[in-house]
Homo-oligomer: A and B are copies of this chain.
Amino acid sequence: MRIDRPREYVVKKLRYAFNPASVAVVGASDNPGKVGFQVVHGLMRYRYKGKIYPVNNHADCIQGLRAYRSLKDVPDRIDFVFIAVGYDKVGSVLEEAVEKHVQVVAVATSDFKETGHAALQDELTQFCRNNELPLFGPNLLGLGNPYLNYNCGFTSFLPERGPVAMISQSGSNLVGALGASQLRHYGLSFFAGLGNKADVDFSELILFAKEDPNTKSVAVYIEGLDSPEAFISACKATVPEKPIIVIKVGGSKIGVKAAFRHTASENEGTCDADFDKIFECAGAIRMENWQEFLDTSMALGLQPALRGDNIVMVTNGGGSGLLSCDQFERRGMPMKELAEISGGLSKSLSPYMPKYWSSLNPLDLTGIAAPWQYEVAFRHCFEDDHVDGVYGSVCPAAVTDVPAITSVAITTHDKYRRLGKPFVMELQGGFECNEAIIELRNNGIPAYPTAEQAVNSIVALRKYYRIREKRK
């Protein structure tokens, strides 16, 4: 439901959703096929430090925990209530929650506006608003915070800790992001599914992310934007400090219908290009596809903004170099020749480089490049005042020492981090490169398996710099 602006009471109370002293799960169950089982299980599995109160009107014990017949029976103050009961029973649970002075509620239950029960959804939302009880959902997957071992939803696992706040209207894509985290350490500060997004709004979560100390970038997946003014205002307040990356779906003809059926999002009559304008005005960076959304939000979370176009690429693989050259130009940020960036660099590197290296840019160290030669190249680039950012690339030929180059990259990055120059890596290859990517990410370096992903991330770092400059 529409809001004119982010509401202060909501932003303030959100901390009870992401760090509650006590959680009640209404609809808690001992049946693993039930959402109410998975939520309790997820909370216990990661040893969440807060108290957990299963609520089930037929059971005294759920998964070994004392269970209660209703919220009212819980002999404690409850910060957060997760509701997973039939849609017709949600109303009475909300009434109890208000009586019990609960701080925030989340409704996992579907079968509201998306299946035709719009009036009921609006009525419950209005009830919550009248009582200043922020409501997540309905029709949501859950939320969590890996820094607090807090997993409250029907997701199988907690993601890795990291810099990105993931705010997703879709539960399935949220699960996709968590999967990327498990597979390749896409690190999250917190995550939230919003589902039908009846009450708690993107804008309010963005303002919450702005204050969250673990969050360095905010990723927002949107199916419908019913409160663009609130969104713009939250972004404008946040963007000077933290970058916001958005993906907006439902712009295609059939997508309009699918978005309504999925999260009751209304896109009828909207024009996709209008969203470009909204996001531009907000200072949010829009991505077109999911992979790029993940890749760039990570880069923006790990690295500083890129203050100029002078990127130097250091590679041992001419093919990665060429894919990068073309992709930079396609994205409107053509690479410059090294001579154009810095007159001295080629000369100062030359004595150390392999015989047939190319000093054009990409600096092609050729297939025989040794780790120490990477180190020299990285160091000279970081130390050269004309270089704005460094892009390292590794192709694992049989003579390439990938782990040693990875170490060199991490050490050099640590040493020069204070300079505020972005550093991004690309490693296309098999198991060894995959492990290197994970290690680099864990050490604050955005690393990717293809050249285009790395380039897109560098371009996003540059875009963010421009956005921030305009707003100074």
Of the candidate stretches A95-103, A169-177, A343-351, the one touching chain B is A169-177
**Which residues A282-339 have CB closer than 8 A to chain B?**
288-291, 315-323, 325-330, 334-337
Min Cβ gap A323→B in Å is 5
Which partner residue on chain B sits nearest A321 by CB separation?
A: B258
Q: Interface residue count for A (Cβ, 8 Å)?
A: 95
A416 at the interface (CB under 8 A from B): no
**Which residues A29-68 have CB closer than 8 A to chain B?**
32-35, 38, 41-42
**Which residues A17-39 have CB closer than 8 A to chain B?**
32-35, 38
Q: A254-B325, A261-B358 are in contact. Are A176 and B398 (CB under 8 A)?
A: no
Complex Cα–Cα for A183 and B86 (A): 43
Complex Cα–Cα for A39 and B232 (A): 59
A255 at the interface (CB under 8 A from B): yes
**Interface 1/0s, chain A 179-194, versus B by CB < 8 A?**
1111100000000000
| Docked-complex contact A172 and B330, CB < 8 angstroms | no
User: What residues of chain B lie closer than 8 Å to A431, measured between beta carbons?
Assistant: 182-183
Of the candidate stretches A2-10, A125-133, A244-252, A463-471, the one touching chain B is A244-252
A263 at the interface (CB under 8 A from B): yes
| Docked-complex contact A175 and B258, CB < 8 angstroms | no
A220 at the interface (CB under 8 A from B): no
Residue in B175, B317, B434, B452 whose CB lies within 8 Å of A397? B175
Residue in B289, B356, B395 whose CB lies within 8 Å of A175? B395
Q: A33-B399, A172-B317, A258-B360 are in contact. Are A323 and B249 (CB under 8 A)?
A: yes
Of the candidate stretches A152-160, A208-216, A233-241, A374-382, the one touching chain B is A152-160
User: What residues of chain B lie closer than 8 Å to A35, measured between beta carbons?
Assistant: 398-399
Most B CB within 10 A of own CB, among A155, A361, A398, A430: A398
A412 at the interface (CB under 8 A from B): no
A82 at the interface (CB under 8 A from B): no
| Docked-complex contact A42 and B172, CB < 8 angstroms | no
Min Cβ gap A416→B in Å is 25
| Docked-complex contact B258 and A395, CB < 8 angstroms | no
| Docked-complex contact A326 and B364, CB < 8 angstroms | no
User: What residues of chain B lie closer than 8 Å to A156, measured between beta carbons?
Assistant: 396-398, 430, 432
Which partner residue on chain B sits nearest A249 by CB separation?
A: B322
Which partner residue on chain B sits nearest A288 by CB separation?
A: B330
A178 at the interface (CB under 8 A from B): yes
A141 at the interface (CB under 8 A from B): yes
A342 at the interface (CB under 8 A from B): no
Which partner residue on chain B sits nearest A361 by CB separation?
A: B254
| Docked-complex contact B258 and A318, CB < 8 angstroms | yes
| Docked-complex contact B451 and A290, CB < 8 angstroms | yes
A433 at the interface (CB under 8 A from B): yes
Residue in B154, B360, B452 whose CB lies within 8 Å of A261? B360
A221 at the interface (CB under 8 A from B): yes
User: What residues of chain B lie closer than 8 Å to A257, measured between beta carbons?
Assistant: 337, 360
**Interface 1/0s, chain A 142-155, versus B by CB < 8 A?**
00000000000011
User: What residues of chain B lie closer than 8 Å to A141, measured between beta carbons?
Assistant: 367, 397
Complex Cα–Cα for A223 and B361 (A): 17
**Interface 1/0s, chain A 429-440, versus B by CB < 8 A?**
111111000000
User: What residues of chain B lie closer than 8 Å to A249, measured between beta carbons?
Assistant: 319, 322-323, 325-326
| Docked-complex contact B154 and A398, CB < 8 angstroms | yes
User: What residues of chain B lie closer than 8 Å to A453, measured between beta carbons?
Assistant: 291
Q: A35-B399, A358-B261, A399-B154 are in contact. Are A450 and B322 (CB under 8 A)?
A: no
Min Cβ gap A299→B in Å is 17
Complex Cα–Cα for A262 and B356 (A): 10
Which partner residue on chain B sits nearest A328 by CB separation?
A: B252
Complex Cα–Cα for A361 and B252 (A): 13
A366 at the interface (CB under 8 A from B): yes
Complex Cα–Cα for A449 and B175 (A): 12
User: What residues of chain B lie closer than 8 Å to A270, measured between beta carbons?
Assistant: none
Nearest 4 Cβ contacts at the A-B interface: A172-B317, A170-B319, A182-B430, A262-B318
- A residues neighboring B (CB under 8 Å): 32-35, 38, 41-42, 110-111, 115, 141, 154-157, 168-176, 178-183, 221, 223, 249-255, 257-259, 261-263, 288-291, 315-323, 325-330, 334-337, 355-356, 358, 360-362, 364, 366-368, 395-399, 428-434, 449-453
Q: List 8 A-B contacts (CB under 8 A).
A: A171-B318, A176-B319, A179-B433, A183-B431, A250-B322, A253-B329, A253-B334, A258-B322
